[in-house]
Structures are given as structure tokens and as C-alpha cells.
Structure 1
Amino acid sequence: MRHLPLILAALLAPLPGAAQGLVTERTVSAALAAEAAAAAVEACAGRGHRVSAAVVDRAGVLRALLRADGAGPHTVSSAQAKAYTAVSMRASTSQILETVRTNPGAARLPDIAGFLIVGGGMPIRAGEEVVGAIGVGGAPGGHLDDQCAEAGIARIRERLN
């Protein structure tokens, strides 16, 4: 019992290096999110695909959503889920899908609420920092959704730093 005060002091002491107070984080702006979503939908339309594009911030909260004329109603939720998955995992949903297929330890990732692990979701980075993600749903294949998501990011890339 004579060590109890030392144990309590150790448990209650702040962790070395732990941030105290406010944390500043960068995230994609509403204006850039809207522009990226529009560019992705435009890129897919140019290829004959009617899609929806969603952009989420670094916390996975929706910042912009655009559903092309004639895009299926399911494309809205799939685009948002792909963006949420990409920002949560800080990787493209195509990369995550490959990991699920090849790594038994990742087999349960698709069971996480809100995740959709098919192509079309990509993190948006400012340097190495993930500041949001874009998801595209509705093209006839995840690789095509990926191409449109890449077009959305390309449109805003130079303004991400």
C-alpha cells in the first residue's frame, strides 16, 4: 500500500508528448469539395456514365454531394460510403479491396458500419496529410469510378497545399 500514491500519480499524470489543449487540423473546404465532386461527375459524364460523387472532410463528414441527371438513387449512398471508407482507412477503396482479398486478417473490414469496399473511393491529400476523400458511384465498374474520382482530385490538386 505504500506504493499506492506513486501508482496513482503515474496514472493521473499527462502522457509525455500528448497534446494538451486545442488541436489544429487541415481539412478540405466546402468550395474545393464541391469543385472536386463536380469534376468527377463531369469526367464520368464525358465517358457516358451517370454517377454521384461525394466528398467528405478528414472526419468523414459530408462536405459536397452531386448526383448526375439520370444517376441511380443508390449511387448517392455508395459514393458517400466509398468516400467515408477511403478517409477512414487513408487509402483508396480499390487498395482496401485488394487487402481484404489477400490478407485474412483484413477479411472483416467490410463488416464495419458505413464501409463500402469496392473501387471508387480515394483519399484527398495535402502533401502526405489526408484532408478528406472523394467517392464516386454509378459507373459500370470500380475501376471506372476510380478514374472519375482521380479526375475530381486532379481538378483541385494544386490548391491543396
Structure 2
Amino acid sequence: MRLIVSTLAASLALAATAASAQAVRTERSITAQLAQQIATEAVNACAANGYAVAATVVDRAGIVRAVLRADNAGPHTLASSERKAWTSASARNATQAMMLGAQSNPAGANLVYLPGFLLLGGGVPIKAGNDTIGAVGVGGAPGGHLDEQCANAAIDKVKAQLQ
């Protein structure tokens, strides 16, 4: 009987430990310093191609960490870069891929009705290993695919820091 009670007590203690371990999560997120570096790199990458853009970097929850608007970038570029970054962080996906998916899938087309979602190219998740730690959104180049190129170029510049 004692063995059964001891075994039962040990099982309950193990279950309680497992339950408490699942109650608290550790999440990785982008630092302000890295966010500013990525925003700067994205604006510079577009400037090298003659595009005046804004870049916004958000953390994994979609909260703005850094924003940079190039000289001569239109005021609308701020809102579009922020919405692209937020959409990408929220969906953990590139907005260009989401846009193409929504165009080819009638059910996916409803994503455009979600408040805050902007399905235009230029939002790219920032990953450290398998974890999405934030996203960068770029707005203002003459095409979302070009905004996305600048976002990817910025992430490539800092990839050593994303290990």
C-alpha cells in the first residue's frame, strides 16, 4: 500500500511540475538596438536603388521598436511600413507571400478585412533560429516586391546577430 501511495504522490508531483512548467513561457524578442540597425539598413538598401522609403521594425508582438523615414519619403510610407511590419509579425509570414496566397485562395482573400492587416509586399519576419523575434516593414519603393528586397537586404546585413 505504501508503494502505491508513494508512486501516486510522485506521479502527482511530476504532473504538477509539468503543469507549472507549461504555465510560464520564455519568449525571445528583438532589442531596440537591433531594431534600429535593421530600420537603418532597410532605408539604406532602398536609397542605394533610388527609393525614398520608411522602415518600421516591430517586436514579436507587433509593437513598434524602431522607425526611420528617408528624406523625401512620402508621409504615407510611415503608415504602410508599420502595417506591413505588424501584419508580418502577427502572421509570422512575409506579406508578399500572404498577398499572393490571398489572391489565389478565395477564403484567404478575407484576410484583407482583418483590422490592421496590410497585404502588400514589404513586410518580412525577423527570425532568430526558428523563433520569430519581430518583423520589418518597408513602404515607399515603386512596388511591394522592391520594398521586400530592401527588408531582406537589411536582415541579411545583421544575420550574424540573429543566431
TM-score (norm 2): 0.86
Residue in 2 aligned with 1:66?
Answer: 68
TM-fit CA distance, 1:23? 2.0
Are residues 1:144 and 2:146 paired? yes
Residue in 2 aligned with 1:93?
Answer: 95
Structure 1 counterpart of 2:76, which letter?
Answer: H
Point out 4+ residue stretches in structure 1 off by more than 4 angstroms.
none
Cα separation, 2, equivalents of 1:98 and 1:71: 26
What SS class does the counterpart of residue 107 from structure 2 fall into? Answer: helix
Alignment of 1:7-86 (within 5 A): 19-20=22-23, 22-86=24-88
* Structure 1 contact 55–83 (Cα < 8 Å) conserved: yes
Residue in 2 aligned with 1:156?
Answer: 158
Cα separation, 2, equivalents of 1:114 and 1:152: 24
Are residues 1:107 and 2:119 paired? no
Query: Mind listing any 5+ residue stretches in structure 2 that lack a counterpart?
Result: 1-15
Structure 2 counterpart of 1:91, which letter?
Answer: N
134-143 or 107-116, which deviates more: 107-116
Cα separation, 1, equivalents of 2:157 and 2:75: 25
Q: Which has the larger radius of gyration?
A: 2
Structure showing the higher helix proportion among its residues: 2
Residue in 2 aligned with 1:123?
Answer: 125
- Of all paired residues, the percent bearing the same amino acid is 50
Query: Mind listing any 5+ residue stretches in structure 1 that lack a counterpart?
Result: 1-13
Cα separation, 1, equivalents of 2:141 and 2:30: 25
Structure 2 counterpart of 1:152, which letter?
Answer: A
Alpha-carbon RMSD across the aligned residues, in angstroms, is: 1.4
Cα separation, 1, equivalents of 2:22 and 2:78: 37
* Structure 1 contact 35–155 (Cα < 8 Å) conserved: no
Cα separation, 2, equivalents of 1:155 and 1:32: 11
TM-score (norm 1): 0.87
TM-fit CA distance, 1:91? 0.6
TM-fit CA distance, 1:116? 0.7
